[in-house]
Chain A
Amino acid sequence: WKKVLYERQPFPDNYVDQRFLEELRKNVHARQYRYQAVVFQSGAVVQQLCSVCVFALTWWYMDAGMLSPQGLFGAALVSSLLGYVLFDAVDGGAGRWASGRTRWADLKSTLVFTAFTYGFSPVLKTLTESISTDTIYAMSALMLLGHLIFFDYGANAAIVSSTLSLNMAIFASVCLASRLPRALHAFVMVTFAMQIFALWPMLQKKLKARTPRCYVGVTVLFALAALAGLATVSSVGAVLFASLLLAISCLCPYCLIRLQLLKDNIHGPWDEAEIKEDLSRFL
């Protein structure tokens, strides 16, 4: 018996041979993870959660009048300048040289951000006057959740869309900023959102690639800062958030590794055909 259909054989078409299961293989693509590596990778999720937390906290302080817009703007400016210097210093300008982006382009982008946000801040202020505050809260919460879902944590999946994630964060920030008492508040809020949602992840990515130790330190510090800030607003929230962070960084990797042992994936000649050869020479 041969496994071909184009020759006439004394067997029916649906005949199954004894050797059929010989080609069965298990867990071909399963990967073995190390606990430390998984914990290190989960840092990205922790960082993003903390970013959202810090943003919400800042808005809370601004709305309550405990944080002046000038102070926040100054702090954000200083940290941005520091980050900008660090961004080039980490890889010695190699990334900038590879992308071919000049400092003039950076300056132009910054000017465009500032000018547009400042120009539109009076409009933003009156934008949602007639809409109820609960609606705004619900919309912002949904948008920030969407930001967390679609964010590019380094996984190669279809759901990941850094554009959509960033846009949702900006939308949420504009919604929240329109609730603040004055136009300047709105302007500072949107600028801060831009820094924490657009610029900060770029720096993180570079730190993670170049100096892993430093990245771990920054993550821990950032998480502690966020927790401390949250504790001043609500202690129950801080405890819950801390347990969430711990669960994501310690419990989830452990579960992943344990569940990996139970993986039972079978492969064999019944699989769909896969094109493995490089097709470029035909095209």
Chain B
Amino acid sequence: MVLKVFFPSCCSSADSGILIGRWIAEQNSAVILAVVHFPFIPVQVKQYLGEVQRVTKVSVSVLGSWSNSKQEKEESLSEFLEDLGTIFCHEPWIQISKEGDSKFWSCSTLQKHSKNPQEEEIILVYYDQRKVMLSHLHPPLDTAGQRTGDASKLSAIFDTVARSQVLFMTDRYDEGPVKLTHWQSDGVEASIIVELLKQASVPACMLLTLLLSLVSGICRSRVLKFWPLSFLWSKLSTCEQLGHRLQHLQVISSNKKAQNQNQLMRKANIFVSLLIDVALGMLLMSWLYRKNRIGHLADTLIPAADHVAEELQDLLQWLMGAPAGLKMNRALDQVLGRFFLYHIHLWISYIHLLSPFIEMILWYVGLSACLGLTVALCILSDIIALLTFHIYCFYVYGARLYCLKIYGLSSLWRLFRGKKWNVLRQRVDSCSYDLDQLFIGTLLFTILLFLLPTTALYYLVFTLLRLLVVIVQGLIHLLVDLIDSLPLYSLILRLCRSYRLAAGVKFRVLEQQDGKPLRLLMQINPLSYGGVVQTYRLPTYSCYPRDSWASLCKKLFLGELIYPWKHKGDKQN
């Protein structure tokens, strides 16, 4: 079996000494973490290792010897290095030596106790200690047996390096009993601002938690839970978005430590997305409140609503005639047309009643943009929903009428054929009806059949209008969801520090020569952008129903109401 030695590239110019690291027996590989220089006292080294093992929970041991001889080979040193193997007994004892400026290192193993001292093939793999320590390995998503096996092997190496972080964090100027060479962090002093922020964040988080608990307590109070109010809250997307943001703030400000990498990333993602959201909201606000833009907006809003109403009136007049040359039932057509016209009249008077207050309302609503762009967008969506309420009403009337007709026709068609729907067996059974039942059923069937085209046309036109509004609202919600769910922190990390999110590794051959160990350089493969988004996507409160296209078409055909928000019943399914 091939023996793999993972060697930190920063140690390649270290002075001679002994190699400490972790031996992974099942993979027959050694992960070297540091080099201990001469001179040292073996007892102190063992004590030190025991301490490290206690802190990091990694079984660190002395794996072999390292000699870096600038001059000619010294016989005595090599003998001494072999003797070291008897002090720190480890099986196999790895001996790596670098001679002068030679590219090829000699590497050998010593197995004192084994019966067959056969020559093992050795592969030297260099790794960047800092990158491997900081990176987080993402196992491949497809769980094919071979690949997951490889991934778990790799993750053992990554894990070893990452857990011995304590080893690297010791201060550069801290004189300990043993002298080590490894990747050296800059210590606490290098990141003084970060440390200060860390200290300051604790009281800030506590204050935030207190405020949040107060707010959520008010929200949860029983006064707001009565029927009409709770119904209203569930239908307004602004409230949903505010609740969502409240949860986010609670996650950020909770003083529990993140348990694993994923939770940490989640917190960071939420924090960055919240920051960017609020920044965009502020930008919007600064644009809105300059040059009396709110007033202009209010001035254009009322004429726009009037214009929509006029267009609707024209549409209804057209429907009351002979639209597209269709032959409709004139009497029903007139009745429906007048009904809807009266409704538009009501709507226009309502809008005009409201018009003096529109500017004030918009001014106060605009302030909410400081809570974030998403909140402002949700408010926009709600305003659209309120301003197109007449279209919604028309749609509901049309759909109810059409639904009634469709269901009536389908059951009367069964009566027409002398059948009926058996509820217990969920099938159509034959049935003998009375004469009067037959007569009235057929009479109604005929009437409904001849009136169906008229109702269907009204339903079709108003459904198209409704779908237009729903699509606009859906686009706004898509934008909100995008801002909510995009893992911005992970994406920035991927862009600037691509090694932090590793998908795997690749090996580059440095030198290859017979009789000398193969030298490879391990490089980290960064996770693809798609993978980043897929792994760290934040969950959203999707308030629109996720109907498939087929079920949507079926609902439209049967005249069932479609809503941009989710039904309560859907959640249980």
Tell me, yes or no, whether A248 is within 8 Å of chain B by CB.
Answer: no
| 9 residue pairs from A and B, CB less than 8 Å apart | A109-B435, A109-B436, A116-B439, A124-B447, A127-B446, A131-B327, A162-B418, A163-B438, A170-B446
Q: 8 Å CB contacts to A: which residues of B55-104?
A: none
Nearest residue (CB) in A for B441 is A167
* Contacts A112-B440, A116-B443 known; 5 new A-B pairs at CB < 8 A: A113-B436, A116-B440, A131-B450, A166-B438, A171-B446
Quick check: A112 and B436 within 8 Å, CB to CB? yes
Specify which chain B residues have a CB less than 8 angstroms from the CB of A129 in the assembled complex.
329-330
Tell me, yes or no, whether A128 is within 8 Å of chain B by CB.
Answer: yes
Given contacts A112-B436, A170-B443, contact A164 B329 (CB under 8 A): no
Specify which chain B residues have a CB less than 8 angstroms from the CB of A164 in the assembled complex.
416-418
Specify which chain A residues have a CB less than 8 angstroms from the CB of B418 in the assembled complex.
161-164, 167
Contact with A along B311-335 (1 / 0, CB 8 A): 0000000000000000111110000
Chain A, interface SS category: helix
Nearest residue (CB) in A for B415 is A167
Please give the residue numbers on chain B whose beta carbons come within 8 Å of chain A beta carbons, in ascending order.
327-331, 415-418, 432-436, 438-443, 445-447, 450-451
Quick check: B417 and A174 within 8 Å, CB to CB? no
Specify which chain A residues have a CB less than 8 angstroms from the CB of B451 in the assembled complex.
127
Specify which chain B residues have a CB less than 8 angstroms from the CB of A163 in the assembled complex.
417-418, 432-433, 438
Quick check: A171 and B445 within 8 Å, CB to CB? yes
Chain B, interface SS category: helix
Tell me, yes or no, whether A61 is within 8 Å of chain B by CB.
Answer: no
Nearest residue (CB) in B for A123 is B447
CB contact between A174 and one of B416, B432, B435, B446 (< 8 Å): that residue: B446
What CA separation (Å) do A171 and B412 show in the bound complex? Answer: 12
Specify which chain A residues have a CB less than 8 angstroms from the CB of B436 in the assembled complex.
109, 112-113
Specify which chain B residues have a CB less than 8 angstroms from the CB of A171 in the assembled complex.
416, 442, 445-446
Quick check: B439 and A120 within 8 Å, CB to CB? no
Specify which chain B residues have a CB less than 8 angstroms from the CB of A203 in the assembled complex.
none
What CA separation (Å) do A8 and B127 show in the bound complex? Answer: 81
What CA separation (Å) do A124 and B446 show in the bound complex? Answer: 9
Nearest residue (CB) in B for A198 is B435
Given contacts A116-B439, A120-B443, contact A130 B433 (CB under 8 A): no
Quick check: B416 and A167 within 8 Å, CB to CB? yes
3 residue pairs, one from A and one from B, having the closest CB atoms: A163-B418, A130-B327, A170-B442
Quick check: A130 and B416 within 8 Å, CB to CB? no
Instruction: Give A144 Cβ to nearest chain B Cβ, in Å.
Output: 14
Specify which chain B residues have a CB less than 8 angstroms from the CB of A190 in the assembled complex.
443
Specify which chain B residues have a CB less than 8 angstroms from the CB of A194 in the assembled complex.
439
Tell me, yes or no, whether A51 is within 8 Å of chain B by CB.
Answer: no
Nearest residue (CB) in B for A109 is B436
What CA separation (Å) do A125 and B447 show in the bound complex? Answer: 11
Tell me, yes or no, whether A117 is within 8 Å of chain B by CB.
Answer: yes
Q: 8 Å CB contacts to B: which residues of A95-119?
A: 109, 112-113, 116-117
Specify which chain B residues have a CB less than 8 angstroms from the CB of A68 in the assembled complex.
none
Specify which chain A residues have a CB less than 8 angstroms from the CB of B328 in the assembled complex.
130
Specify which chain B residues have a CB less than 8 angstroms from the CB of A161 in the assembled complex.
417-418
Specify which chain A residues have a CB less than 8 angstroms from the CB of B439 in the assembled complex.
113, 116, 170, 194, 198
Nearest residue (CB) in A for B326 is A130
What CA separation (Å) do A166 and B438 show in the bound complex? Answer: 8
Quick check: A170 and B447 within 8 Å, CB to CB? no
Nearest residue (CB) in A for B431 is A163
Given contacts A116-B440, A129-B329, A163-B418, contact A175 B432 (CB under 8 A): no
Tell me, yes or no, whether A126 is within 8 Å of chain B by CB.
Answer: yes
Nearest residue (CB) in A for B412 is A167
Nearest residue (CB) in A for B435 is A198
What CA separation (Å) do A174 and B451 show in the bound complex? Answer: 14
What CA separation (Å) do A126 and B436 show in the bound complex? Answer: 24
